[in-house]
């Protein structure tokens, strides 16, 4: 987390330059890997593939975009399925995710997606293998959404979406591990759509005009039974967040709840331990993100609630997506 804070400082600390040789190695290896799949592309899949990814590590808002895509496609009569790497899950892979799955096997974000969408979902580090398994398990699937995978060039795709945190942008502009970038900012010139999570603070080298996404908070839900509530109970309150940009969630809670609360940030995809639960045992109310709720196994006597969010995207984005799907099927 200290490294991530350094990536987004206006003036980089001197110790960050010690990582320069590793950045050069990362750039070389990732470039060779991309060239490999450019000259030896994977065999196309029988249905269109939409990739939702980013060029930086950490949370940018891919999951809400994926949820919005599923809702839209279902409303258009499509039968979407989702694939993902399953980060943090131990498999075995490929693994079909359901609402009853364990986050330790499939990862926290895939479990969230499976619970919210109720569509076929498969996770595997090899996204092409995941797509084949999905089509085998759900042959009526008409379109596949890859949650993350912009850099997974072994997966053919017809529509690429890059999601950018509007507040943090591309950070210091350096590649891993000196900076947060998996690919150079120029990669944004080759994607089909760029979505910014919130208002963009700095310009981006995009070939297309970015679409701005607005995240709308829904009603708090009680963790014990997933039921929405109109009002949270009173008491000593802690807000926890194990996501890529926890400060964004803390700010959201501050606008929703007029109460004093303590915050505690964890690393993205953090696996909560008994020590974590013991450290928060003296709080009456614990608030968290929906992703953290898939893994929370704390004291059942505590009042625990999570906050679902919903992405709002401009109509122009949906029109572009619909046209891209028509073109993909026509070309096929």
Show binding-site residues for ATP: 56-63
Crossing angle for the helix pair 315-331 and 62-75, to the nearest 10 degrees? 70
List b or e across 238-250, with b for residues whose CB sees 16 or more CB atoms inside 10 angstroms. bbbbbbbbbebbb
List b or e across 155-178, with b for residues whose CB sees 16 or more CB atoms inside 10 angstroms. bbbbbbbbbbbbbbbbbbebbbbb
Alpha-carbon gap, residue 125 to 85, rounded angstroms: 5
Which strands form 285-289's sheet, in the order they lie side by side? 221-222, 303-307, 285-289, 237-241, 262-265
Which strands form 95-96's sheet, in the order they lie side by side? 95-96, 121-123, 80-84, 143-147, 49-53, 159-165, 193-197, 211-217, 309-312
Q: For residues 151 and 162, is the Cβ–Cβ distance under 8 A? A: no
Binding region: 56-63
The closest alpha carbon to 51, from 152, 160, 192, belongs to 160
Q: Which residues does 229 contact at the CB level (< 8 Å), separation at least 6?
A: 219, 220, 221, 222, 305
Alpha-carbon gap, residue 322 to 290, rounded angstroms: 29
DSSP H or E stretch at residue 161: strand 159-165
The count of C-alpha atoms lying within 13 angstroms of the C-alpha of 10, restricted to the half-sphere facing its C-beta, is 2
The count of C-alpha atoms lying within 13 angstroms of the C-alpha of 4, restricted to the half-sphere facing its C-beta, is 15
Question: Between β-strands 285-289 and 237-241, what pairing exists: parallel, antiparallel or unpaired?
Answer: parallel
Q: For residues 236 and 218, is the Cβ–Cβ distance under 8 A? A: no
């Amino acid at each position: 987390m200290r490294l991530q804070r350094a990536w987004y400082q206006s003036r980089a600390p001197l110790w960050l330059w010690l990582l320069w040789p590793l950045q050069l190695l990362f750039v070389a290896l990732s470039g060779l890997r991309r060239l490999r799949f450019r000259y030896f592309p994977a065999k196309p899949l029988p249905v269109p593939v939409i990739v939702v990814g980013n060029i930086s590590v950490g949370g940018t808002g891919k999951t809400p975009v994926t949820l919005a895509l599923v809702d839209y496609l279902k409303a258009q009569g499509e039968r979407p399925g989702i694939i993902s790497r399953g980060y943090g899950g131990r498999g075995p892979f490929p693994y079909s995710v359901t609402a009853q799955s364990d986050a330790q096997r499939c990862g926290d974000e895939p479990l969230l997606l499976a619970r919210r969408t109720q569509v076929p979902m498969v996770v595997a580090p090899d996204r092409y293998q995941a797509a084949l398994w999905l089509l085998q398990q759900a042959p009526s699937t008409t379109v596949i959404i890859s949650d993350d995978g912009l850099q997974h060039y072994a997966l053919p795709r017809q529509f690429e979406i890059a999601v950018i945190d509007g507040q943090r942008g591309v950070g210091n502009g350096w590649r891993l591990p000196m900076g947060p970038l998996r690919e150079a900012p120029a990669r944004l010139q080759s994607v089909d759509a760029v979505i910014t999570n919130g208002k963009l603070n700095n310009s981006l080298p995009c070939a297309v005009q970015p679409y701005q996404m607005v995240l709308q908070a829904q009603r708090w839900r009680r963790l014990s039974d997933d039921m929405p509530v109109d009002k949270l109970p009173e008491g000593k309150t802690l807000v926890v967040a194990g996501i890529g940009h926890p400060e964004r969630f803390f700010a959201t809670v501050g606008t929703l709840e007029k109460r004093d609360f303590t915050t505690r940030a964890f690393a993205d995809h953090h696996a909560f331990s008994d020590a974590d639960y013991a450290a928060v045992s003296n709080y009456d109310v614990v608030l968290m993100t929906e992703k953290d709720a898939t893994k929370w196994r704390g004291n059942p006597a505590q009042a625990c609630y999570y906050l679902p969010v919903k992405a709002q995207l401009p109509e122009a984005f949906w029109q572009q997506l619909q046209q891209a799907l028509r073109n993909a099927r026509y070309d096929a």
